[in-house]
Chains A and B, each alone.
Chain A
Amino acid sequence: MKALSSRKFILMGLLPATLIYALFVFVPVIWSSYYGFFDWSGIGEAHYIGFDNYVEIFRDPIFWTALNNNIIFVLASVFGQIPIALIVAILVQKDGRLTRFLRTAVFMPMVLSTVVIGMIWQYIYHPQIGILNFLLQALGLESWQRVWLSEDYGIFSLIPPLIWSFVGLYLIIFIAALQNIPGEIHDAANLDGATGARKLWSVTLPMIKGTIIVAVVLCISGSLKSFDLVYIMTRGGPAHATELLATYMYNSTFSSYRYGFGSAISTTIVLISLVLIGISQWIMSLKSKSKT
């Protein structure tokens, strides 16, 4: 009797989410990956060409530039956003006026539209009237002045705005997890004389390990999809220097009008993301095994 009702509950409970998700995400994704096998401009007749689009993608140097840039983004996000967010979260989790201010301030870039963030950073990096070059000059470091969003430095110049605008996301996730650690555990650790760094390593981090894994997955998937910030700040240029997989896909679809090709790129993005997330999960499971 109990088994029966719980099976029914499982079905009823999963149904709405699965249905809506399947209909409005999964079907369009499969549909679009189907277009990936066609030479289609988005208008008129489509020609089936098998895996030709995929062959072309892997031969296209721009794809490799984009993939390379995307991996830089993933690494910068995972090793930039998550540690910063974690440190800030640990420091500001106690209630107080200053911590409350910090919690809000660090999150604020998240609420702003990317257009605004792009505008500000463009003026920071502006080659003639930008703040950064102005500061360098004021400090007597003229030789450090650069055209920041250029072929040579563009992709690295995009990393600070990227990290800076998403730290807030992981901050609230970590704060939620930290609040969740029962007070007794802190008390016990304190009794054992664990303080500062040692308490952090031996008590706090293991307690929120699950959350850190969640954050890493969100971070990888988020930075592989990055589009807005780069599209607004550089449009993937100059000369593809800051191209990402998502801008490459968008430009192929809506600028070059190669809808089939664009769909093939987007399928490739999903596949690459799955592989990267699989690898990251594997690495983290290895680590936790070696510890225990």
Chain B
Amino acid sequence: MNSAANSSARRATKTKQAVLWTLLTVYGLLTLYPLFWLFLSSFKSTQDFFNRPFGLPEAWKFENFSNAWESSNIGQAFGNSLITTLGALAITLFISLLAAFILARFRFRFKGAILAFFVVGMLVPIHSTLVPLFIMMKEISMLNTYWALIFPYTAFALPTAIFVLTAYLATIPKDLEEAAFMDGSGLWGIFFRIMIPISLPALSTVVILSFLHSWNDFSFALVLITSTGLKTLPLAIANFADGYQTDYGLTLAAMTIAVIPTIVMYMIFQEQVMKGMTAGAVKG
């Protein structure tokens, strides 16, 4: 009697589990679909794209990729995007973790004010800063250099990065640092030897977010870079799409090329997120 009820309950949970995982898988497929769609569409001709937006290509146009790469200097733009994005990423990671370390671990006056000061940065609609930024960049002669993008990318990534990192560090016990301090490690030593490894999961999150943010930026790149040689990918891709003569196959092929680094980035750092603190703790 009892065992029968038990087994039927177990069967019920099993069915529930199956339904749950099926639903999740369907959701996963739905979220993955756009990537698949982009990939398929990038082999189509414009007419094919319009006639059957969700179908397989009528004829696979592999040349879309080579044409996209050659026209509009996608190769050069790709390099420019990598330089500005990775430059901004490196600076962001270092200085935001440093600031978060201090904000999460030290007690001092104006701490609340400084945190609030950074939070405002998460609320700013970027379009309103375009004109002031342009004038500033002109005054300090930074227009048309990589720095004209690296600094704004860094500055706009900082608030979220500091916010996420500070909140993360606040949840981590201080045992390790205190032990290290007792052993005579200095503050910089603690920062490099303990804080960096310990924050890896949150840092990975910041990497993914900052990378996406700079890699896909259109507005800053449109306004702050006016020389063709420094164009970034989103601008180069926008050049394919001009009003009536948009070649959709070509545009989408360029977009497919552009999306690859973000996927690679995600795959690498997602693993770091998953390894979690345990890995960091072992090292420390």
Contact = CB atoms under 8 A, between A and B. Distances in A.
Contacts of B262: 111
Interface stretch (A47-55, A137-145, A169-177, A185-193): A169-177
A266 B125 contact: yes
Interface in A1-39: 5-7, 9-10, 13-14, 16-18, 20-21, 23-29, 31-32, 35
A107 B270 contact: yes
Nearest to A272: B123
B9 interface: no
A102 interface: yes
A105 B28 contact: yes
A236 interface: no
Interface string A200-226: 000000000011011001100100110
B32 to A, nearest CB: 4
Interface stretch (B57-65, B69-77, B78-86, B91-99): B91-99
Interface residues of A, number: 87
A274 interface: yes
Interface residues of B, number: 89
A164 to B, nearest CB: 7
Contact of B121 (A5, A26, A110, A179): A26
A20 B201 contact: no
A154 interface: no
Interface centre among A13, A32, A91, A263 (most CB of B within 10 A): A13
B131 A42 contact: yes
A115 B248 CA distance: 12
Contacts of B278: 179, 183
A102 B163 contact: no
Nearest to A274: B123
A256 interface: no
B124 A106 contact: no
A19 to B, nearest CB: 9
Interface in B132-148: 132-133, 136
Nearest to B262: A111
A14 B95 CA distance: 8
B122 A180 contact: no
B18 interface: no
12 contacts: A20-B154, A21-B118, A24-B136, A29-B124, A108-B32, A111-B35, A113-B255, A211-B171, A214-B163, A253-B127, A253-B128, A266-B127
Query: What DSSP secondary structure best describes chain A's contact surface?
Result: helix
A270 interface: yes
B167 A211 contact: yes
Instruction: Across the A-B interface, give the 6 residue pairs with the lowest CB-CB distance, nearest first.
Output: A179-B276, A266-B128, A24-B155, A105-B28, A28-B132, A273-B123
A159 to B, nearest CB: 15
Given A10-B106, A25-B158, A111-B263, 15 more contacts: A6-B106, A13-B98, A13-B101, A18-B99, A24-B151, A26-B117, A29-B124, A32-B132, A107-B270, A168-B31, A172-B270, A176-B204, A225-B123, A249-B128, A250-B127
Nearest to B260: A111
Contacts of B125: 225, 227, 245-246, 249, 266, 269
A154 to B, nearest CB: 21
Nearest to B98: A13
A242 B185 CA distance: 57
Contacts of B277: 179-180
Contacts of B53: 123, 129
Contacts of A214: 163-164, 167
B274 A180 contact: no
Interface in B188-236: 188, 201-202, 204-205, 208-209, 212, 216, 234
A28 B95 contact: no
Contacts of B267: 104
Interface string A238-251: 00000001100110
A88 interface: yes
Nearest to B265: A111
B158 A176 contact: no
B259 interface: yes
B203 to A, nearest CB: 10
Interface in A257-292: 259, 262-263, 266-267, 269-270, 273-274, 277
